[in-house]
């Protein structure tokens, strides 16, 4: 329970009653005629929930060819202004229905702390998809990303929809609702409201443990699987390399970069037998601050981070740095336990675009089992370039400037601690182990 005192009254907020709910609605040309019914449905669900920034938060996003947020999770403090915004919505239009791109958009831009998501606080996350047609793009990977991260997707299809598509997108078949006629939609809001209200974080974790343990990527000719460990006690044995931008991109602001690394380091269980940490600066070349086995205890690692000073160089050659990390740091000689099967993580902190090619070196790291995360510290960063580097899209955490790094530090630390990555496993073995319908939704 969270106790909130105001004046002489005592208010009790039931932590289990908190929800973050995002509505993703079809606003394409195909949905124009029935869009008023979509609007009424969302209004009815909202009015049936206890909407408050301390309880249930709501966001609404439209999509067609493109994606347009109507309002985010932290836009309205209660349902009053929210309902007015819902009533005034008009369909954005679009000849295509790009559901995959829309799912990717909400993952990156709506289920985030800056948009009001409380996922890092353990608040249950829900996505209610309302669609009237088949997707024009691939959606299976994006749906699996949401499922693996614990977002419960409720897929509602009206009219001529592909029910198999709804099954693939939804968290489980229980969260699929097919409505043949739009006139039946208005009577369905109570079912949706009840299921969202009654599904607890414990229920979500129970479903996650019954599904395949991760998501399968095959874009680099190697399978990686990952899942999210939501236990309060994290399995922390891993080797983490921080590659930090030391180019002209961070001139005058390097202390902000150092403090970001320091804050994460202080939260880790660092020891030779637990988590090991290495740090290097990246400019024209790589300058190693310390290796995985340079220090025998956490305090000496922290002291070394505090002593870091910028060793400036003009260019930012991430590709060369990734190659250096593969060849010289993720090795037993540098204290890496990669040959022992200990998870190997690389955290790239970038404030600008790399001057060299990153895709081939990144794929080489992925093939060797290294999982790369990226922290975007500037609007000058090429996000497409970062996505080529990381294992999965949601492993990019963004800030608009280096001054905002401290704000995203808790979110990134939570991600770093809770993601669990397994070593590559042959496809046939996975198909044998997880002989269910769900497996196909986890393949690219």
Domain ends where: 207, 226, 252? 207
Please indicate, yes or no, whether residues 175 and 253 belong to a single structural domain of this protein.
Answer: no
Whether residue 6 is contained in a domain is answered as no
92 Cβ contact list (under 8 Å, min separation 6): 27, 62, 63, 64, 66, 68
Please indicate, yes or no, whether residues 259 and 138 belong to a single structural domain of this protein.
Answer: no
Whether residue 440 is contained in a domain is answered as no
Please indicate, yes or no, whether residues 125 and 249 belong to a single structural domain of this protein.
Answer: no
Whether residue 415 is contained in a domain is answered as yes
Please indicate, yes or no, whether residues 174 and 56 belong to a single structural domain of this protein.
Answer: yes
Please indicate, yes or no, whether residues 187 and 62 belong to a single structural domain of this protein.
Answer: yes
Please indicate, yes or no, whether residues 259 and 404 belong to a single structural domain of this protein.
Answer: yes
Beta bridge partners of 370: 344
Please indicate, yes or no, whether residues 315 and 185 belong to a single structural domain of this protein.
Answer: no
| Domains: count for the chain | 2
Task: Give phi and psi for 139, each to the nearest 5.
Answer: -130, -10
> By C-alpha distance, which of 261, 268, 271 is closest to 306?
261
Please indicate, yes or no, whether residues 92 and 181 belong to a single structural domain of this protein.
Answer: yes
Please indicate, yes or no, whether residues 288 and 196 belong to a single structural domain of this protein.
Answer: no
Q: Going residue by residue through the chain (444 aa), what tens digit of pLDDT does each one get?
A: 333 333 333 333 455 678 999 999 999 999 999 999 999 999 998 988 888 888 899 999 999 999 999 999 999 988 888 999 999 999 999 999 999 999 989 988 898 888 998 887 778 899 999 999 999 998 887 888 788 777 899 999 998 888 888 988 998 888 888 888 888 787 777 778 777 777 776 777 666 555 543 333 322 222 344 444 544 344 568 999 999 999 998 988 999 999 999 999 998 999 999 999 999 999 999 999 999 999 999 999 999 999 999 888 888 999 999 999 999 999 999 999 999 989 999 999 998 899 999 999 999 998 888 999 999 888 888 888 888 898 776 688 888 889 888 877 877 887 787 676 554 433 332 232 322 232 233 233
Please indicate, yes or no, whether residues 132 and 34 belong to a single structural domain of this protein.
Answer: yes
End-to-end CA separation in angstroms for the chain:
42
Whether residue 248 is contained in a domain is answered as yes
Please indicate, yes or no, whether residues 114 and 19 belong to a single structural domain of this protein.
Answer: yes
Whether residue 302 is contained in a domain is answered as yes
Q: What is the DSSP string of 51-83?
A: B-TTSEEEEEEEESSSEEEEE-TTT-SSHHHHH
Helix (H) / strand (E) element for 384: namely helix 383-389
Instruction: Tell me how crowded residue 189 is: count the other CB atoms within 10 A of its CB.
Output: 18
Whether residue 332 is contained in a domain is answered as yes
Whether residue 156 is contained in a domain is answered as yes
Q: What is the DSSP string of 399-423?
A: -SSGGGHHHHHHHHHHHHHHEEEEP
Beta bridge partners of 419: 228
Whether residue 402 is contained in a domain is answered as yes
* Residue 115 structural domain: 14-207
β-bridge pairing 9-13 and 67-71: unpaired
> By C-alpha distance, which of 53, 60, 64, 70 is closest to 128?
60
What CATH number did the domain enclosing 24 receive? 3.40.50.410
Please indicate, yes or no, whether residues 269 and 397 belong to a single structural domain of this protein.
Answer: yes
């Amino acid at each position: 329970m969270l106790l909130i005192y105001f004046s002489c009254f005592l208010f009790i907020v039931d932590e289990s009653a908190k929800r973050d709910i995002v509505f993703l609605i079809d606003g394409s040309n195909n949905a124009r005629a029935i869009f008023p019914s979509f609007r009424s449905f969302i209004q009815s669900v909202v009015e049936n929930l206890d909407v408050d920034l301390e309880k249930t938060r709501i966001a609404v996003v439209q999509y067609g060819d493109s994606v347009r947020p109507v309002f985010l999770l932290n836009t309205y403090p209660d349902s009053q202004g929210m309902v007015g915004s819902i009533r005034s919505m008009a369909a954005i239009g679009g000849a295509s229905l790009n559901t995959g791109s829309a799912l990717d958009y909400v993952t990156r831009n709506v289920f985030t702390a800056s948009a009001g998501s409380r996922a890092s606080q353990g608040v249950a996350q829900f996505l209610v998809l309302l669609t009237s047609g088949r997707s024009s793009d691939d959606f299976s990977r994006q749906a699996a990303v949401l499922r693996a991260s614990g977002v419960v997707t409720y897929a509602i299809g009206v009219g001529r929809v592909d029910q198999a598509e709804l099954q693939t997108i939804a968290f489980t078949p229980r969260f699929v609702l097919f409505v043949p006629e739009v006139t039946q939609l208005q009577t369905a809001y109570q079912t949706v409201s009840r299921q969202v209200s009654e599904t607890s974080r414990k229920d979500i974790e129970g479903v996650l443990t019954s599904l395949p343990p991760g998501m399968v990527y095959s874009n680099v000719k190697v399978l990686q699987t990952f899942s999210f460990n939501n236990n309060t006690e994290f399995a922390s044995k891993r080797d983490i390399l921080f590659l930090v931008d030391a180019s002209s991109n961070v001139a005058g602001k390097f202390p902000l970069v150092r403090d970001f690394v320091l804050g994460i380091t202080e939260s880790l269980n660092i020891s030779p037998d637990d988590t090991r940490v290495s740090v290097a600066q990246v400019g024209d070349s790589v300058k190693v601050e310390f290796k995985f086995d340079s220090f025998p205890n956490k305090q000496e690692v922290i002291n070394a981070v505090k002593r870091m000073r910028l060793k400036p160089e003009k260019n930012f050659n991430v590709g060369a740095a990734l190659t250096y990390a593969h060849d010289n740091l993720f090795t037993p000689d540098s204290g890496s336990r990669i040959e022992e099967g200990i998870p190997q993580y690389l955290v790239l902190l970038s404030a600008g675009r790399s001057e060299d090619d990153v895709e081939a070196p990144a794929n080489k790291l992925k093939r060797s089992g290294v999982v790369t995360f990226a922290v975007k510290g500037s609007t000058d960063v090429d996000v497409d370039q970062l996505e080529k580097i990381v294992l999965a899209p949601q492993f990019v955490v963004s800030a608009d400037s280096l001054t905002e790094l401290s704000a995203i530090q808790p979110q990134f630390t939570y991600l770093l601690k809770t993601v669990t990555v397994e070593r590559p496993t042959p496809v046939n073995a996975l198909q044998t182990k997880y002989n269910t319908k769900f497996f196909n939704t986890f393949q690219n």
